[in-house]
Structures are given as C-alpha cells and as structure tokens.
Structure 1
C-alpha cells in the first residue's frame, strides 16, 4: 500500500500506454443509500484526483482519458446534494489562498454558470458538517446571497480529511509556494515518519522542490507572519535564499527587506538583493591642512582616501609647484618600481 493510501486510504490509479483500456477499468457505481454511497463517493473523488495527477505528468493525453475524467466528474456532480451553507464549519489552515482578482472572477463565473465541482464536506462526531475543500466557492455563494450549495460527503477521519484537502489543493496551479509549504508542514505534523522523498513521490514534485518549500521554516517569525497574510509575496527560491541569509546572521536585513516588499516598494528580486547587500563603509572625513606664508594661506591641501588636492592663490604658483611636484613624483615612481623588482 502506498504512502498516500496509508494517509488517506485513497485508490491508486496508474495509466498504461493504452489510455482507453485504463479508462475502461475506472467505472465505479454509486450506491443509492447512506454509508455505502458516502464511501463510494469518497473513492470516486480520490480516483479523480489520482487520475488528474497522472494526466498532469503527461505531455500528450488521449481523448479517451480526458473523456473518462469528464465522465467521472459528471458522475460525482450527479451524486451531490444541496446543503445549507450556514451549517458548514471551517477548519483553520485548510483554506487555499485566492487573490481578490481571482475571487471576483470566480464570483462572476458562479453568478452566470452552474457549479461544475461540488464542494466536499464530512460529518463530525458532534453532528456538524466540516468543509474539506471548496472554501472559496462557498464564500462566493455567500456573496451572491445563496443559501445552499451542492456538496458530497466524504467518509474520512480528521487526519485523512486534512490530507485529502491538501492533495486536492496541490493540484491547483495557482496554489502559492508558501501554501504548499504549510501543507507539507501539516503532513509532517500528522505523519512524523514521512520523508521528503515520500512527499515528493506522492505530490509529483521533485525532492529538490520539497527542500526549497520546507526552507520557509528557517525564515524569521516576523516574515512568516507577513506571509500568513500575503502568501503569494515570496516564491520558494527567494524564500530559500532569504532563509539562508537569516541563518547566517542577517535576520534584521531579511525582515527589513520583506517589509519593503510587502509595502510594494520593491520587488522580490530587489528584496533578495537588499537583504544580501553588505553595509557601506562610512567614508572618512577629508583631512585639510593649511600651509601658511606669514599670516596668509599659501596653499590649502585636502586629502580624502587616495586623492590629494592642492589649492593656491594664483595660477602661476600652482603651475610652478606642479612642475616641481612632477619631478618629485617621477623620482618616487622610479624608487617604487625598483623596490617592486627586488621584492
């Protein structure tokens, strides 16, 4: 039994080269009564998720496989029933982030079209109905003033529901890297023995990507707090770089850079550059020496770092001293060159 089977009791599907033959083997029937129906709907949902995962890995998907997926989704929708939105309970940490723009698009879509995918809920021991997936659809139904929504019941434990919600969300292309990180952290919390290799196998992500995602763990708590409110702010690669900088003693710089990023003052690349930048050395104050001729200034000499500047009262005196200095510097250059050769 696979790791995902152990975590969510899912039904594993592997497509062969002959998609038609594989598709023909996926024809579950939905019982019409109580517990049997709930269990079969749960199995059908997981079959759909596994099939989507398999198809996402392929460059070329047959018409038969796409048709079978659509058929399964329609079968799931036909098994859904109307539930009162007011009876649904949200579990913290399970909601998928959606930008205001995307929410508006979803609302307008639902305003003019039928719901394509039912939301998923489960009955809790206390009799309440818990949302497993579909939080944003439910929100937009509320915004549209609708009291009911199509839903299917899932037969699962609390741990299985959390796993199922995460795997379902992971299939969404707009899931942010920070949300993926939070999901994998929850997996580690619920299944302490899980390895990064196993998470990579079950998610379809590479082990390297899992490592990048989990690097969010090393960001300062102040940055994690910002990301909880703005999960799309930082991607995994920038997150790993900033986490590395924080671990190497640049915590304050990372917090400051992310603060400017959150305010929209800089972009992600600039935030990484700002957090990485070494503090500029304070410039030494210029040294000024006044050379007197009696009570008057004969020459004012200023030196800043490796630059010496002389200022005289007249052009004639500046020209005369320049000629004398040139001879002195040429002699010094000859001595320097000889010393270099002998060293």
Structure 2
C-alpha cells in the first residue's frame, strides 16, 4: 500500500467522534461540565496521536525519497569512478522499458543526441534495475539505448546496475528527469504526476524536494487544468508548449472555450511554424464587432437639416452648423409633441 493511501486511511477519522450518550431530557442522566471537559480532552489527545502518526508516515515517505536520491548520487559516483567499478557492457536486447518513464525528446534534441553518440564514446553509462526474469529495466538512459539500438545499429551499451527497490528506481528516474534544466514544462508536470501516483508522495513533498520556485511550480501545474485532449496532443511534442502559455490556455478553457483550446493546441503541435502566441490568438474567443449604423440624412431642398441614426433602441438626430443646438432643442420638442399625439390617437381608437 502506498504512503499516500496509508496517510489517508489513518487520518480519515480525525473528525470528532459522535457523542451517542442521550441528552438529559431523554433520561440519560446529567452530562456535567467536568464530563464534557474530559470528553473534549480525550478527543484532543486522540487527534494529536493520529496527527503524530500521520507526521511520522510523511517523514517515512520523505526518508524514502531522500534514500532514492542518495542511491542515484552513489550511482552517478560509481559511473565516474576511474576504475570502472560496476560498469559493464550489456546487450541491448536485454533491456526492457517501463511505460511513461522515458523523457520525450524534440526532433532537434534527438538529432543532436544521435550525432553526439555517433561521433563520441559514451561518457555516462546508462543504468538499469535487474528484474527477477533476468531482464534489465531501464532506470536512466532510455533515449541513448533507443538510438544505439534503432539508429546506430549497436548491439551493446555501457551500463551500471541500480541497487535499489522498484520504488526507489522510479523515484530516481523521475527526479533525474524532473531536475534536468532542459526538461520541458509539460514533462516536469508528467513527472510530478508519476511521482504522486507511483510513490504516494504528496505534492508538497515533491515541490519541497525539487527545489523549484513557487511560480515555476504554478506554471508546471497549469497543464492539469487543460482539457484531456489538449494534454494528449502536448504529450506528443512537449517542447512545443511552455508553462506560461499553458496558464493562458487554461484560463481560456476555464471561461468555457475548451474546444477552441484543444483545436489551437493541436494546430500548434502539428505546425512547426506556428508560434504559441498565434495559437493563443486562435483559441481566444472572437469579439464580434458591431458595425456602425448607417445614418440617413434629412434635407430641405439641397440643404441638409440633420442626420438620423438608429442603434440599440436609440433614435439619434445630429444637427450641424450654426444654430445646431437651437435646432436640436426645437425638433426635440416637436418629436415629443408628435409622440404624445400618436399615443392619444391610439387611445381614442
């Protein structure tokens, strides 16, 4: 059972225990003030005991996380050892991959890594965890193994064994990705989710251990506010959308335009030339501009008296030239008299 579930179970009953004793009016005897005080004190003690137990479980979880990171650091130290202790050549056919653990590279990143591996000797060995069936589950180095196997036609690769549990391997792999400077924000979000699901650590634990700033974490977690279809599209090319743009897309989706967000993000992923700014413009609701109402001119002979416009239930008259204010007042009175006559005529009819 995960640490998170154990914490949930052991803290679920922190709510006050119901008092089943009958009230005095029902013949249950008097419930004195000292009795109430004793009951309340007992509940406080019980709650404190449960809280301490929950804190201990959280501390245990943090200790597991620290141990996984320590093992990863030790592994890195072994890789760098000059005597090559623990380093071996492993057949590529022996490796198996745990779904979701590999970091997704952009096409440019993959080509750069391929060129580097093709021209140079592998500096940092990959790491694996030995499975009961003899297969080697990749902990780090997924993309290097993939390129060696599928692009460079190699049959073996330099590797070192990770001495730890499955959970520790998962933590080590996730944090190795999470703390990589070049990791896209969506990949960091995915590692956050994996750490929570696989290890049971709380989000607060992960944020603290990662050392990421609050604003950076806010950008990373903006992806969870996007529609699922949008996240599916981003997963194919995490490098195409950053956390800052994800926050803006999330706000648009929250305002009721989720479908537009999905279409815009899918377009961004599918078109290398499209910018995030352009995708946001596509997603934002279009403002319908109301065209200015056409005005009609009333003339006396060849001379214009005024312009008439109708908009939003308002009839407007515009007089120009000398004496326009007096003309406007004069015609306003005439229009008022006309409307009153019309109303009176309808009443008579």
For the aligned pair, the TM-score class normalised by the smaller chain equals 0.5 to 0.7
1:122–1:156 contact (8 Å) kept in structure 2: yes
Paired with 1:48 and 1:309, the residues of 2 have a C-alpha distance of 84
1:145-164 alignment, distance < 5 Å: 145-164=153-172
Counterpart contact for 2:298–2:306, Cα < 8 Å: no
Partner Cα distance (1:151, 1:330) in 2: 92
> Could you say which residue in structure 2 is the equivalent of 1:194?
202
Distance 2:82 2:60 in 1: 26
TM-aligned CA distance change 1:11 to 1:326, over 3 Å = closer
The equivalent of 2:115 in structure 1 is: 108
Counterpart-to-counterpart distance in 1, 2:231 and 2:69 = 35
| CA distance in structure 1 between the aligned counterparts of 2:83 and 2:287, rounded to whole angstroms | 59
Aligned partner of residue 238 in structure 2, secondary structure: coil
What does 1:227-306 correspond to in 2, within 5 Å?
227-264=234-271, 266-281=274-289, 283=291, 304-305=292-293
1:80-137 deviations in whole A, cap 9, x for unaligned? 1000001110111111121222222222222221111000111112221111110111
Where structure 2 has 5 or more consecutive residues not aligned to the other structure, the ranges are 1-58, 308-318, 332-349
Deviation at 1:176, TM superposition (A): 0.8
Q: Which whole-Å CA distance do the structure 2 matches of 1:208 and 1:317 have between them? A: 70
Normalising by structure 2, report the TM-score.
0.65
Root mean square deviation, CA, Å: 3.2
Equivalent pair of 1:8/1:164 in contact (CA under 8 Å) = no
Q: Which residue of 2 aligns with 1:294?
A: none
Q: 1:211 aligns with which of 218, 221, 225?
A: 218
1:193, distance to aligned residue in structure 2 (A): 4.5
Q: What is the TM-score normalised by the length of structure 1? A: 0.66
Equivalent runs, 1:111-130 vs 2, <5 Å = 111-130=118-137
- Alignment match of 1:94 (pick from 96, 101, 114): 101
Q: What is the match of residue 29 of structure 2? A: none
Q: Pick the structure with greater CA Rg.
A: 2
Give the Cα–Cα distance (whole angstroms) in 1 for the partners of residues 306 and 66 of structure 2.
89
In 2, distance between residues paired with 1:165 and 1:125? 20
Q: Which moved more, 1:173-182 or 1:107-116?
A: 107-116
Judged with a 3 Å threshold, the aligned counterparts in structure 2 of structure 1 residues 321 and 226 are, in CA distance, closer, same or farther, namely same
Give the CA deviation at 1:74. Answer: 3.8
Q: State the 4+ residue runs in structure 1 displaced beyond 4 angstroms.
A: 1-4, 75-78, 309-312, 322-325, 332-336
Which residue in the other structure is 1:46 paired with?
A: 73
* Residue 10, structure 1, aligned to residue 68, structure 2: yes
Q: Which residue of 1 aligns with 2:174?
A: 166
SS in 2 for 1:98: coil
